[in-house]
Amino acid sequence: MAQLDDLDRAILRILKEDARLTISEIAERLNRPESTIHFRIKKLQERNVIDKYTIILGEELQPKSLAIVYIQAETPIIEDFLERYISHIMKTLSLLPNVLAVARSGKDGIVAIIGDDTPEKLNRFVDDTIRSLPTLKRVEVFTVDQFIKGQDLTGFLVGV
């Protein structure tokens, strides 16, 4: 685990909330000299504790319906085929704009976060694009309705 003290953590929490704040605004909030805050942020960046600065897009650009999909491939006799097949599905999915995230899940599985304008369109997308894939053993779709933690996830993941 990273060696961070209370001041480092306080700075990180503030930047998570609003990364546009100036050094002097952060210094004022934390009642510390600007030079200290400047030095700490510089160190946090150098150590890659802060990896990136980014934006979260507003509701207007976010899909209204969200789901997590788990896909499990049939285990074939030739192992190498499974590997290539999983890679191929992952790559195909990752190119689609309403697929917000794709990850491998174990040896024979994929998890994806999918968004669309309405639950109906989302279901149609899953039926047309995922359930129609050959040699799948299992497809599970879990709608994601209302976040109580991590709610900015959608605005973070959505592309433009």
Options 23, 30, 57, 136; binder of its own copies; rule CB under 8 A: 57
- Residue 5 sits in the site that holds its own copies (CB under 8 A): no
Provide the CB-side half-sphere exposure for 90 (13 A, CA): 18
Nearer Cβ to its own copies (82/156): 156
- Residue 12 sits in the site that holds its own copies (CB under 8 A): yes
- Which tokens in the block code for residue 62? 């976010």
3-state secondary structure of 120: helix
Q: Which of residues 66-95 bind its own copies (CB under 8 A)?
A: 68, 70, 90-91, 93-94
- Residue 148 sits in the site that holds its own copies (CB under 8 A): yes
The CA distance from 67 to 140, in Å, is: 10
- Residue 4 sits in the site that holds its own copies (CB under 8 A): yes
- Which tokens in the block code for residue 76? 């074939």
The H or E element containing residue 59 is none
Options 37, 73, 113, 126; binder of its own copies; rule CB under 8 A: 113
Nearer Cβ to its own copies (77/159): 159
CB 131 within 8 A of CB 35: no
